[in-house]
Structure 1
Amino acid sequence: MRGPLRWVLWDVKDTLLKVRASVGEQYCREAERMGLDLNHTEVNTAFLKAYRHFSSQFPNYGVSQGLDGQAWWKGVVWDTLFQCRVQDPALLNTLAHKLYHNFSSADNWEIFPDAERTLRSCSSLGLKLGVVSNFDRRLEGILHACGLLSHFSFLVTSEEVGKAKPDPFIFEQALQKCGVPAASVAHIGDHYINDYVASRSAGINGFLLDRQNIHKQPDVPPEHRLNSLDELPSRLQQLMD
């Protein structure tokens, strides 16, 4: 039997926040400050290749292989810019350091218009909020810089716990912090596998945020699908009755 809803867990990237400009544009902007003239389309292509390579060879920021988020992301920057013919090690080190810290700033992130009012609405219902994110250790600083950190009782990041969604371990860690059964917890995210399927598999009330109406999976009923976070509070109220 389902217990009353007590907690709401949140994905962050592309659910509450999104990158303000493309990675290519942001890398090129920083490179220009160092006297380099790069093409943002070429940089974007190189970044995607580097990101896929590092994600495959060093999953979850390489934590199990002795890396951390900062070393992992610096490697991605090195690989990206090296593909674009930037080969000076000192210059690559400087750019990697600057770009890693740039993405900790609110300047590089945009809050979705429906995010903060939905977080407030959920809190006003008496629900507690937490974060479960495949992010590195910068997440707390990013949420603080964006003015969202105070909404959450805890953050669980994949770098911190050593496992990434859809691994059930990261949801188990969040449930321990909630201190209630999975049936008393909801989770909201934009990724079909990592957020919706994984949370549902853990017994959590998962909702799939589909702002662009691109997810066509038949196993997501309409009542589990959100086109906007504004739809969420009424759905949660139904689980509280």
Structure 2
Amino acid sequence: MRATLRWVIWDVKDTLLKVRASVGEQYCKEAERVGLNLSPVEVDAAFRQAYQHHSSRYPNYGITQGLDGRSWWMKVVRDTFCQCRVFPDSKKTLERCTSLGLKLGVVSNFDSRLEEILRVCGLLSHFRFLITSEDAGIAKPSPAIFDQALQKCGVVAANVAHIGDHYVNDYLASRSVGIHGFLLDRHNKHKQPDVPQEHRLSSLEELPSLLQQHMH
């Protein structure tokens, strides 16, 4: 009899949300450090948009609305930073997985700002733990980062599923340690013959029914 599924661990970037721009000005360099290739033009546009929005909504740094200069800038920076687009199927799927009785965690090649990003995007409360490559000191596809996740889950790999959009970092790496890896392929770009159809998803909405098959 096969082991029952108890946990689902998630990749974040390009799986649950799309990162469109990073914080403010020096922010391109910071983004590059974590592997996001943003053009300064994109960041500047996001920054200008946030700046203009707050200038019209809270003139003169919001002094009359009880803000000070620092809080005003924090709001601008936060808005720039949060031009992260949550995919329309993300929240619903996380809720559905939780309602099936599954516990959820995150394993992401990202830095420690991830918690704040997930909080601002309204996704953080779904997860019991977050492991970022910065905090772990190792990155996917290293099996060691998945081993850390299994320790947090407190179960064997056969009780855990993983969902991500990267063939090597997510699918192959999770399966190499015995986790049930599923490959999210929103645009039908992955042509690898070794990914059977039942391990592929074109949308997160397909995930709960796939997971249920592993829960008997």
Confirm or deny a common fold (TM above 0.5): yes
RMSD, matched Cα: 2.1
- Residue type of the alignment partner of 1:29: A
2:106 equivalent in structure 1: 131
1:23 equivalent in structure 2: 38
1:239 equivalent in structure 2: 214
Q: Which runs of 4+ in 1 moved over 3 A?
A: 30-33, 101-105
Cα distance in 2, alignment partners of residues 9 and 118 from structure 1: 13
Q: Give secondary structure in 1 for the equivalent of 2:155.
A: coil
Task: Structure 1: state its 5+ residue gaps.
Answer: 34-97
1:211 equivalent in structure 2: 186
Report the CA distance between 1:127 and its aligned residue: 0.1
Note the 1:66-215 alignment, pairs <5 A.
105-106=81-82, 108-215=83-190
Query: Is 1:199–1:206's contact at 8 Å kept on the other side of the alignment?
Result: yes
Percent of counterpart pairs with the same letter?
67
1:224 equivalent in structure 2: 199
Cα distance in 2, alignment partners of residues 160 and 190 from structure 1: 21
Task: Structure 2: state its 5+ residue gaps.
Answer: 22-36, 50-73
- Residue type of the alignment partner of 2:18: K
TM-score (norm 1): 0.68
Name whichever structure is richer in helix by fraction.
1
Cα distance in 2, alignment partners of residues 225 and 182 from structure 1: 19
Report the CA distance between 1:30 and its aligned residue: 6.5
1:5 equivalent in structure 2: 5
Query: Is 1:12–1:189's contact at 8 Å kept on the other side of the alignment?
Result: yes
TM-score (norm 2): 0.76
CA shift digits 1:167-207 (9 cap, x unpaired): 01100000000000000000000000000000000100000
Residues 207 and 103 of structure 1, relative CA distance in 2, 3 Å threshold: farther
Q: Give secondary structure in 2 for the equivalent of 1:131.
A: strand
Cα distance in 2, alignment partners of residues 30 and 127 from structure 1: 37
Report the CA distance between 1:104 and its aligned residue: 7.8
Residues 220 and 103 of structure 1, relative CA distance in 2, 3 Å threshold: farther
Report the CA distance between 1:29 and its aligned residue: 2.5
Equivalent residue pairs, number: 174
